[in-house]
Amino acid sequence: MILYYHPLSSYCWKVLIAFHENGVSFTAKMLEDGAAAAEWQALWPIGKFPVLHDPARNATVGEAGIIIEYLAQHEPGTFHPFPADPDAALDVRLMDRLFDNYVMTPMQALVADRLRPEGQRDPYGVAQARDMLGKAYAMLERRMAGRTWAAGDSFTLADCAAAPALFYADRIVPLGDGHPILSAYLKRLEARPSFARVLKDKQPWWHMFPFADG
């Protein structure tokens, strides 16, 4: 399997965590490389990443969550992104959507605004994104009470989503003392070997993140 990725992309981190948890071998092709970027664009003209190409099945898969499900279906290893119980699996899917839509999305809006030229920034959009993060933090703080991982005792797809979302968001709108449960959860995520590896691998490019000193 070949994974086309960018070392600072939060959705690429989501997939990389799943691969590292699963233990399956794969080739990671960084889109900073011109040849890899050309291959990626030919496979996925919409121009989004990550993208997985599986030559053995002649399959190309986009969207982080779908890539993780594809991995679980075709290369099941030590990682099970969904529990067998249907109701528990629904909770995993819900938590995955909460972290993607209400933490990752406003976080990315704040990053995008910081990257704009000074005269083209959107103060109203920034205020909306910060307000959404505040609401998401409060809701997730309540939902995470008594849980080790996002959906209970097992590390799942929801944690793959939570790790990059919270890591980046905390550097822009810090969790602080007002969210002790989420703060402790983020520390557990950072200590998890799969995510710790992703964080280590991003270091050569970290200076490119506009809130790197935050």
Q: What is the pLDDT of residues 89-107, one digit of tens each?
A: 999 999 999 999 999 999 9
| pLDDT for residue 207 is more than 90 | yes
Copy the structure tokens of residue 94: 């819900």
| pLDDT for residue 63 is more than 70 | yes
3-class secondary structure, 57: coil
Pairing of strands 27-30, 2-5: parallel
| pLDDT for residue 214 is more than 90 | no
| pLDDT for residue 119 is more than 70 | yes
CA 7/CA 199 separation, integer angstroms: 9
Q: How far is CA 188 from CA 17, 44, 91, 99, 199, in A?
A: 14, 34, 20, 16, 13
Instruction: Compute CA 117 distance to the chain's CA centroid, rounded to the nearest angstrom.
Output: 26
- Whether 86-192 and 2-74 are alike in CATH topology: the answer is no
Q: Where are the domains of the chain?
A: 2-74, 86-192
pLDDT band at 145 (very low <50, low <70, confident <90, very high): very high
The CATH number assigned to the domain with range 86-192 reads 1.20.1050.10
Domain 2-74: CATH superfamily, name plus number: Glutaredoxin (3.40.30.10)
CA 180/CA 185 separation, integer angstroms: 8
Query: Tens digits of per-residue pLDDT, 11-36?
Result: 999 999 999 999 999 999 999 889 99
Pairing of strands 51-54, 59-62: antiparallel
Report the chain's mean pLDDT, rounded to a whole number: 96
- How many residues appear in the chain? 214
Task: Report the pLDDT averaged over residues 158-185.
Answer: 97
Q: Could you tell me which residues come within 8 angstroms of residue 160 by beta carbon, excluding any fewer than 6 positions away?
A: 14, 15, 17, 18, 21, 64, 68, 81, 96
| pLDDT for residue 8 is more than 90 | yes
Is the distance from CB of 152 to CB of 160 less than 8 angstroms? no
Percent of the chain with pLDDT over 70: 100
| End-to-end Cα spacing for the chain | 35
| pLDDT for residue 77 is more than 70 | yes
pTM over 0.85: yes
3-class secondary structure, 186: helix
pLDDT band at 46 (very low <50, low <70, confident <90, very high): very high
